[in-house]
Structure 1
Amino acid sequence: MYETAHEAARAYDAAARRLGHPRSQMNFHDVWTHEHAEDLAPPPRLVTDVDKRHHKMLQRRLYHAVEDERLMAEWKMRFPEDVQAMRAFYVKRKAVRKASRVARRIDKAERRAFILAQEAGPKTISDNDDRWLDLFSSMPMSDTTVSAGSDSSD
């Protein structure tokens, strides 16, 4: 909804430009670029107070995003050594995470092999195999130890 037919026609031209329509389909032939069509089109009408608040919030977010981008570009130009240090940090962090994932996969495979060996029978694992420690380390201490003072009450 626009106040005048001229505003509506300008808004139509801006939308048609956005959709890639040729200039021959426009109402006004004095517009050569998409940006010029957007500049000449009237801003959309905000109907309710909720629409106005939402629009204002979006404008603030856009302003902050643009300002952040500008400041980051300036920081990169003024402090290239910080950018290199940051890149090196993330390369190292990626390598550490990859190594951690590989270690978890190996650990998982070893635990699976242990479980499969248990299902196959006790003869497949020797008594002094380190994998027994994994089995008992997950049990609470009260189940695996006997208190020394429990027999003294007799």
Structure 2
Amino acid sequence: MPPRRRGASGYRGVRQRPNSWYYSEVRSGDVRLALGTFKTAHEAVRAYDAAHQALDVAPPPRLITAQDRAEHAERQRRLLITEEDEQAMTEWRRRHPKDVADEQAYWAEQTAKRRAKPLDRRRQKAVALSQCETVENGGQSIFSANDSRWDDMWLDTSDQTSKDDDDDDWE
């Protein structure tokens, strides 16, 4: 790759103007930072070097684009809508305390049901296992030989409920 052209001044970032003054600028990506116009190329190079070292320490701030402004405006709009929704819900709760209490009771009931399911399954499994032990030890089961409730209880409490893993006499 050929070396980068340095212009008439002989220095990177420094150009000579038609009026014999020297213009200096620093580029970082798409950003151009004008450093000014100087009487000598030496002054322009010193300004360029100082700016370049400063850019290495702290890059220039990100420019705010029209897209950034639009995204910010959209976030602000959504925030205002959220705040208005929260205020409306607070007002509704204040005006309708019975509805709030009913909703809380409903969700408490749903939570209790959800927590009771594993306990009920454990109880059913214990009953099923005790029935297996009773039958294996020569005792009588509470289910008759063809009682479908036995299959339902066993499947509900079994760790393997797929048709392929169990017996082939399902039909």
TM over 0.5: no
TM-score (norm 1): 0.43
Higher strand share: 2
Higher helix share: 1
TM-score (norm 2): 0.39
Please tell me whether Structure 1 or Structure 2 has the larger radius of gyration of its CA atoms.
2
